[in-house]
Amino acid sequence: MTDYSVFANPDFDAHEYANAILSGEPYPPQQSTTKSVKTFSKAFGGIEPAKEDISVALSKLDFGIEDVSKQLKNVVTTHHEELLVQAAGVNELETSLTSVRGGLGELESSVEKLRLKIRTPYQSLQSHVNRLQRLQQALDVLRRISRFVVLARRLESQMSEMAAVDGVSEASANGTATPSRATDHEEEKERTIVKAALSIAELTALLDVSPEAETDKSYSPENRPDPAATEADENESIDGSMVPLRSIHAVAAHVPFIEASRARITTEMENMVVTGLATLNQSLLASSLQTAHNLRVLPEVVQNLVLDLSGALESRIRAAFDLSQLSKEALGKDPAPSSQSLIYKSRIRTEPTNLTAPQWTALLWTRLENLVEELTSCCIKVYALEKVLKLKKDPLTGTVFLDEAMKVLENLPRATFWSSLGRALEKQCKDAVKGSSFIQQTLSTGYPRLLRLFQEFFAKIAVHTDTVYSQASQSPETILVLRALSTFEGLYLARVSNKLNETVGQAFAGGSRSPPGINEGVNISRSIANELDSAKFDPLLLQAVARNAISSLELMLNRADGMLVRDRSAFTLAGPTATPQQILNGQVASMLHHCWSRLQKLDEEYQDSVTGILKPQLNKIRSAYEKVTDPLLTAIKRELGVIIARVHRIDFGKNVDPMAGMGGGASLYMKDLSDKLSFLKMEILSKLNLGDEMREWTTAIVKYVLRTFVLHVSIVKPLGESGKLQLTSDMTELEFAVSAFMTDSQSKNRGADWSSVADDYRALRAMRPLLFLENGHLASTQDTIGLPPLIVLHHIIVRSPIPLPHTLHGWQEAEYVRWVEEHSEEEALTLIDGGLSHWEKIMEVEGKDPSAAVEYVELARTVLNRARSV
């Protein structure tokens, strides 16, 4: 096949091949570029273009034709049967194609006839439809013109009525008409304006808004059999569907009158809005808003009103803090300056001098008072506007005017007013502080006065709005305004903090050599109370001052904590005088206590919102001085307990010394106890001025001494007659010592007040007869009245051979007394009962005779049963 590759190419051209052979040129031609030749060569299996002689080419062609003929003959011979079958099928196919061709011809003729039957009626129908559309357009134009003429005549009548009412108003102004009649005419004028606005709105709608074209979608160009034939008619129909009324001369003649009427109604509406807001006349304001709604400009009118009020608000605030205008006003009231003072004119205009400062201050406060009045008026107007917008509805659709106005407003009018007020106030306050030291000093020092002005503002608008500003609750709007004044509030609070910190610093100025005392604590608490009282009129400022007071109290605590001494020298009671550390701690603790006690009384004056801020810090102050007093009280009790416990070192069971006589005086331990009580009163407690708590301390110490002494005396064993007499003398000495300890030299009453320690003192007095009672009377309630059952049980066991509980358990007397104080009476009685049972078992096990103690066991059981039955 390579010999026939040139002829097998689809681009082979016999004429070009013959011309190439005759001219002796290669085929295909080689005048193309090298790249194209290579491409052609590749397309023909890599064979180079042929360049042959004519004879050789002819011989090749003859040979090729013969070869092809032979191959065709062989193919036909080989497949003759299949070729005959295909030939017969071709004849049948020609017959079928002939019948199909005839059917297609008949179909084309039928389609052409059908097209002629549809096309003509369609074109006729299309022309009728276009004519009907034009008639409908003409009818619509006539209908609108008729409506326009009716409205125009109605508007003329309404404008004439307005002119008549204006004439009556002028007559009323001149005094020729009665006021009641003038009022009636004004109301009639408002109604006329509302009606005229509705007429103008409808006329404007007829002039400016044309009805939409009504086209039949079924006759669109896409569905037409012949689009080219009807495209022009359809375009003409569509283009003529909208006819503006302004193009009609009869209508255009009324347009100037309508425009003039609209301008006049708009002016009247604006005047009504301004008058209604100025006089807070809701009826007039409602009429003006209804007019704006009828004119289809209600959202824009409300938006402009809110923007105008916000703009006026910002300009008034800016003018109030304008120092240049303030200086001009001050200079205008000053007398003409002398020639010597002309050189200082520029400086005087920027900041006041010491001489002109009072006048500038008075002018500034006057401007701020006027500003608050203007803010009140503006706020009431905004709320009145919003109230009317909420109440008014469209009579036809029922749409609330406020909802319609919100289509262009971002927020409610009240929200816009408060945000504008807060933003403008905050900006002007910050700019004033940065630009003028005079305004900064005046308004930061007089911030309470500034705050009172805004409280008056809140009180005035509360009648017309739903804002609340009281001690119990504050509206978000009021808080937003007060936050705008935070610049001056911060400066005022900084002054308060500095003043309180200065008071604390003066209290600790002497250091450890001259520690703070009662006066310093009172001064600190008085300073805080004064600052709170100054801010008492405002709940938010009061809370802010309370928070600042917390920082000053914390500073006081830190200074006091660094000054207090907590080593052993602060709690030793060796005597004979108080240590310097105890004196230092006593003064600091007294200072903390008096500061705490005076601030604690603020709970009666202020609400929980303020006392809740101070309470945690007051608790810290109490804890701070209790860390000094509680260990000292514990040390005092421990020292007194050790002295009383020495009673067991004395032998109270020996016989009476006949040389000593009766009443040899108190024991040595009792003298030491008396001296120690005197030392505590004169040296230790006198350094602690804790007010009423000192009485509680004294009572607690006396109760501890009496109770501990009675417990120790009740377990003294052995106890003879001389020992009883000695204990009686010790009790008398203790009574004198305690009486002297409890006596207050500053009190008007002489002697000790035993009512505060009545139970323990009664037990001490009842202990004397108990020592001398007969055994049979020990279980009697009459003979042991005033004594706890435990004391009676101790004394019964002391008289008997039964061991005491501490002896049975191997405890020291002081350990047993401490155990009794730490446990309940029931547990102590159970311990006694267990000791009795244990002794009975031992007697039974050892086989000893318990008869000597039977009486005492029975007495003890009787006392136990009676104590448990109570």
Res 812: pLDDT: 92
Nearest CA to 24 out of 49, 61, 59, 60 is that of: 49
Res 2: pLDDT: 61
Q: How far apart are CA 67 and CA 493, in angstroms?
A: 122
Task: Kindly report, residue by residue over 52-107, the tens digit of the pLDDT.
Answer: 577 877 888 888 888 888 888 888 888 888 888 888 888 788 888 888 888 898 89
Res 22: pLDDT: 79
> Are residues 477 and 490 located together in one domain of the fold?
no
Q: How far is CA 181 from the centre of its chain?
A: 57
The count of domains in the chain is 4
Q: How far apart are CA 674 and CA 665, in angstroms?
A: 13
Residue 225 has pLDDT above 50, yes or no: no
Task: Supply 461's token pair.
Answer: 């608008």
Look up residue 296 and give its amino acid: R
Task: Kindly report, residue by residue over 718-737, the tens digit of the pLDDT.
Answer: 888 888 899 999 999 999 99
Residue 806 has pLDDT above 60, yes or no: yes
> Are residues 475 and 492 located together in one domain of the fold?
no
- The answer to whether residue 164 is domain-embedded is no
- The answer to whether residue 213 is domain-embedded is no
Residue by residue, what is the 3-state secondary structure of 296-351? Answer: CCHHHHHHHHHHHHHHHHHHHHHHHCCHHHHHHHHHHHCCCCCHHHHHHHHHHHHC
> Are residues 577 and 700 located together in one domain of the fold?
no
pTM for this prediction:
0.67
- The answer to whether residue 625 is domain-embedded is no
Say if CB 24 and CB 51 are below 8 A apart.
Answer: yes
> Are residues 412 and 442 located together in one domain of the fold?
yes
Res 345: pLDDT: 44
> Are residues 477 and 492 located together in one domain of the fold?
no
Nearest CA to 198 out of 250, 143, 248, 265 is that of: 265
Q: Which of 437, 469, 484 represents a domain boundary (last residue)?
A: 484
Q: How far apart are CA 32 and CA 449, in angstroms?
A: 105
- Average pLDDT over all residues of the chain: 81
- The answer to whether residue 85 is domain-embedded is no
> Are residues 472 and 519 located together in one domain of the fold?
no
Res 1: pLDDT: 54
Spatial CB neighbours of 324, under 8 Å, sequence gap ≥ 6: 349
**469 in helix, strand or coil?**
strand
Residue 241 has pLDDT above 50, yes or no: yes
Q: Which of 457, 484, 511 represents a domain boundary (last residue)?
A: 484
- The answer to whether residue 182 is domain-embedded is no
Average pLDDT (827-839) is: 90
Phi, psi dihedrals of residue 334, rounded to the nearest 5°: -75, 155
> Are residues 432 and 493 located together in one domain of the fold?
no
Residue 339 has pLDDT above 60, yes or no: no
Low-confidence winner among 169-173, 426-430, 747-751 (lowest mean pLDDT): 747-751
Query: Is pLDDT larger for residue 157 or for residue 451?
Result: 451
Residue 851 has pLDDT above 80, yes or no: no
Read out DSSP for 731-782? HHHHHHHHHHHH--TTSSS-S--GGGGHHHHHHHHHHHHHHT--GGGTT-TT
Q: What is the CATH number of the domain that holds 491?
A: 1.20.58
Res 626: pLDDT: 87
Count of alpha carbons within 13 Å of 743, Cβ hemisphere only? 11
Q: How far apart are CA 765 and CA 776, in angstroms?
A: 20
Q: How far apart are CA 308 and CA 302, in angstroms?
A: 10
Q: How far apart are CA 416 and CA 621, in angstroms?
A: 48
Domain with 43, as residue range(s), is 2-78
Res 333: pLDDT: 63
- The answer to whether residue 390 is domain-embedded is yes
Length of the chain: 870
Task: Kindly report, residue by residue over 488-530, the tens digit of the pLDDT.
Answer: 999 999 999 999 999 999 998 888 888 898 899 999 999 999 9
Q: How far apart are CA 474 and CA 470, in angstroms?
A: 6
> Are residues 581 and 519 located together in one domain of the fold?
yes
Q: How far apart are CA 847 and CA 845, in angstroms?
A: 5
Q: How far apart are CA 696 and CA 702, in angstroms?
A: 10
Helix spans in 564-607 (H): 580-600
> Are residues 479 and 496 located together in one domain of the fold?
no
Q: Which of 559, 592, 619 represents a domain boundary (last residue)?
A: 619
Task: Supply 479's token pair.
Answer: 């808080």
- The answer to whether residue 201 is domain-embedded is no
- The answer to whether residue 189 is domain-embedded is no
Q: How far apart are CA 388 and CA 380, in angstroms?
A: 12
Res 410: pLDDT: 86
* Long-range contacts of 655-658, Cβ-Cβ distance < 8 Å, separation of 24 or more: 655/720, 655/722, 656/720, 656/721, 656/722, 656/725, 657/722
> Are residues 325 and 358 located together in one domain of the fold?
yes
Res 348: pLDDT: 44
> Are residues 823 and 754 located together in one domain of the fold?
yes
Burial of 440 (0-12, 13-18, 19+ CB in 10 A): middle
Say if CB 76 and CB 83 are below 8 A apart.
Answer: yes
Query: Is pLDDT larger for residue 245 or for residue 408?
Result: 408
Q: How far apart are CA 300 and CA 409, in angstroms?
A: 9
> Are residues 778 and 669 located together in one domain of the fold?
yes
